[in-house]
Structure 1
Amino acid sequence: MRNPHSREEKAEINRLLDDIKKEYEEGIRPVLSINNPTMFGNPHKIPRLKKIQINRGLGLAAQNTNILKKSIEEFTKITGQKPIITKSKKAIAGFKIREDMELGLTVTLRGQKMYAFLTKLIFFTFAQIRDFRGLSVRSFDKAGNYTFGLKEQLIFPEINYEDVDQPQGFTITLVMSSPSTNGTTFNNVLNGMVLLKFLRFPLNDSGYYEKYDSLEEISQVWDRKKHLRRKRWSQE
C-alpha cells in the first residue's frame, strides 16, 4: 500500500483537483487501456461516468410553498443548476397522494457541472461528515451504477447554518456507461469499482477483494454467494 503522504499521492490529488475531467481523459483512460488490454483494450469498454442524479423526496411537505422554495434554492446553490420538481404519476388514497402532486426534487448533472460537483464531493464534502468511514462497495446496482445517501445539506460549503430550518438529505446516483448490453452484473460492478477507485472515491470495503489473486477467484466467490442465496430462498 502506498504512503498516503507520498509525493506521488499528493501529485495525483493535485491533478484531480486541477481538472478531474482532463485527468480522466489523459491519465485514467490510458492507464486502464495499457495495464489491462484484455478488459479495456477496446476504448469503448473503458468505464466512464455519464451523469450524476441528485434526488430529494419531500413527501407531503412539498405542498408547503416555503419548504419547496427553500429546497429549490439549496439544490441550486449546491449543484449550480435549477432542479426539476418531481410529481406523482397516480393517486394513492392511503398516503393522501393525488395524481400529479408535487413530491420532491431532482437534478441531473452532465459535463463540466458533473465533474465540478464530483470534485467537491470527493475532496471537500465527505471530509465534513462526522466519523466518516467511507462508503460501502455494496451500493452498486446490476448496471454498475453507484447510489448513496447523505443525511443533511450542511456538509456542503454553499449552505449556511443560519439558513437551515431542518436537516434534509438526498440521494446521489453516479450513472456509469454501459459498454455492452450483454455485460454481466459482475463485470458492470467491477468496472464501476475500478473507475471510482481511480477517482479516489472513498469506498471503505473495496479492500476486501485484495486477498484474491485474480478476477476468476472473485467471480467464483460471487457465483458461490449467488448459489447460496438461491438455495436459501428455495428453502423458505
Structure 2
Amino acid sequence: MIDMAKQQTESPMKKISISKVVLNMGVGKSGEPLEKAKRALKHISGQQPSPRYARATQRDWGVHKGEPIGVAVTVRNEPAIQLIKRLFAAKGNQVKGSSFDDFGNLSFGIREHIDIPGVKYDPQDGILGLDIAISLTRPGFSIRVRSKHKASIGRTHVITAEEAKAFLTREFGIQVV
C-alpha cells in the first residue's frame, strides 16, 4: 500500500524564490561623500548604482529638494543569490527575527562595508555603512504589478514571516535570533 503522506508534495505555486536585493547608502549630502558611496556600492554589487534624491528641503541639514543624497542598486537573479551569501557572511550568518516584515521581506544593515567578504579597505573611500532589503516572491505574484487587471495576492498565498525564515534558513543556512 502506498503511503499517501509521501505522495503529497508541496505545490509548485508555493515555491519561494528571491525577487531582488536592494543595497542602499544614504549619505545625506551630494559631492564627495556621494561619490565615495557610489564607488563602494559598485565594488560590492558589480553594478552601476543610481542616485536617490531628496524629497523635501531640510534647511537645518542643508539639504535641498531634488538634490542627490544617496545611492542604491538593485540586484536580481543569480548575482543576487551570490551577493546574499556574502552579505549574510558579513552578519555572521545571523539575522534578527524583527528584521522580517509581515510579507516575508527582510531588511538589515551592515555598519562597515569592509565586513563583506571580497571587499577591501580603500583609504580614499573610508568606511561606509549600508542598508539591505531582500524581497521574496512566489509564482503568481506578478498579478500585483501587471499593467492590466491588477489584483491582490490571496491570504493563503502571501509569504509569511515564518515561511521566509524557514526558506532563508534552508537555502542559506542563516540563524534567526
Fold match (TM-score > 0.5): yes
Structure 1: how far apart are the matches of 2:136 and 2:102? Answer: 11
Structure 2: how far apart are the matches of 1:95 and 1:44? Answer: 48
Structure 1 outlier segments of 4+, above 6 Å: none
Shifted more, 147-156 versus 165-174: the winner is 165-174
Provide the residue aligned with 2:148 in structure 1: none
Structure 2: how far apart are the matches of 1:192 and 1:199? Answer: 10
Shifted more, 95-104 versus 143-152: the winner is 95-104
Provide the residue aligned with 1:87 in structure 2: 53
Q: Which has more radius of gyration?
A: 1
Equivalent residues of 1:53, 1:106 under 8 A apart: yes
Provide the residue aligned with 1:71 in structure 2: 37
Structure 1 position 105 matched with structure 2 position 74: no
Structure 2: how far apart are the matches of 1:53 and 1:113? Answer: 12
Provide the residue aligned with 1:170 in structure 2: 130
Structure 2: how far apart are the matches of 1:182 and 1:76? Answer: 38
Superposition deviation, residue 194 in structure 1: 1.9
Structure 1 position 198 matched with structure 2 position 145: no
Higher helix share: 1
Larger RCO (CA within 8 A; separation ≥ 6): 2
Provide the residue aligned with 1:209 in structure 2: none
Unaligned 5+ residue runs, structure 2?
1-5, 142-152
What TM-score do the two structures reach when normalised by structure 2? 0.77
2:114 match: secondary structure: coil
Structure 2: how far apart are the matches of 1:36 and 1:189? Answer: 24
Structure 2: how far apart are the matches of 1:187 and 1:115? Answer: 19
Higher strand share: 2
Query: What percent of counterpart residues are identical?
Result: 20
Equivalent residue runs for 1:30-41 within 5 Å: 37=9, 40-41=10-11
Could you say if the C-alpha distance between residues 44 and 88 of structure 1 is closer, same or farther in structure 2, counting changes exceeding 3 Å? same
Provide the residue aligned with 1:30 in structure 2: none
Residue 182 of structure 1 aligns to which amino acid in structure 2? G
Equivalent residue runs for 1:109-124 within 5 Å: 109-122=75-88
Equivalent residues of 1:87, 1:104 under 8 A apart: yes
Equivalent residues of 2:14, 2:157 under 8 A apart: no
Provide the residue aligned with 2:14 in structure 1: 45
Superposition deviation, residue 159 in structure 1: 3.0
Q: Give the length in aligned residue pairs.
A: 160
